[in-house]
Structure 1
């Protein structure tokens, strides 16, 4: 692979695992959920920001913004979630996935109760945990393979994900 390979190029080089992985992305990120697609992209971008994965954070910030998340919200949330202009219902969700990302063994029932107190149910918490887990996996895959992208590529990729979803991305794998 070239030193400037994108994730799509990695997927195209290794299409069998990529196809299954994109199917999982489509299920977790676009199937019916208490969270809209934009909220799930917000969670993905937040987790990626906590992990300092520039590639995933950049792409999924653009995707979240394409779904209506206000520009600058993710930067503010990562700097100080408590004072960020994040919807009050989403703050405990982001706090939960942030803690799950940083210190998974320290997540407590009280953390889950905060999510429930904000009006989410067990199914929503399950969905948030799946998004968190998926993007912790992806962040490590991207970082492990040395994948980087500039803002222009993040914009192209984010808009492509908004318009075609992960199933659309799978059509670019070739045969």
Structure 2
């Protein structure tokens, strides 16, 4: 149940977007840019980063949706749960380990970031563009986690696969097209 009494009891984030289209559209367009635009990371890797950040934040809604979306794009089922339980023993691509460490630290203790954190990402073979992309995904999902938790949005596991299929099939830009225009 959301904290917005005007929405139905079982409202999901898409219902919030439909209720507030003027703020939803720019957010969704930014998702499209960060999550589907040019990046050194694949769609699956960006969804994995989003789900990991959401898991670090204990945002069950975003973690569930983006874990299912990452898996729809080819991430091994169970990988995100294993990474959150113990990143070092999870079967994460070794090149992604420092990226996930970076976004995890940025999520938990942003003021503690150091040049050494960035150097670990570079040492794994990523460039400046990759660091920038990872930070944008991390920042976006920290924002979304706060929005979801602040509005009391929740869903059960059955919804996660529905949302993941929609994101996989039509992307974020397709989601924006499903939102009716704001009332005049």
Q: TM-score range by the shorter chain?
A: over 0.9
Q: Which has the larger radius of gyration?
A: 2
Partner of 2:117: 111
Partner of 1:152: 158
Give TM-score scaled by structure 2 length.
Answer: 0.94
Partner of 1:68: 74
| Secondary structure in structure 2 of the residue aligned to 1:159 | helix
Unaligned segments of structure 1, at least 5 residues: none
Across the two proteins, how many residue pairs are aligned to each other?
175
Please state if 1:25 is matched with 2:27.
no
Report the aligned-residue RMSD.
0.6
Please list every run of at least 4 consecutive aligned residues from structure 1 whose deviation after the TM superposition is greater than 2 angstroms: none
Partner of 2:173: 167
Distance 1:85 1:108 in 2: 26
Unaligned segments of structure 2, at least 5 residues: 1-6
Give 1:172 shift.
Answer: 1.1
Partner of 2:3: none
- 1:144-174 Cα distance to aligned partner (Å, 9 max, x none): 0000011111110011101111001101101
Give 1:139 shift.
Answer: 0.1
Distance 1:155 1:120 in 2: 31
Give TM-score scaled by structure 1 length.
Answer: 0.99
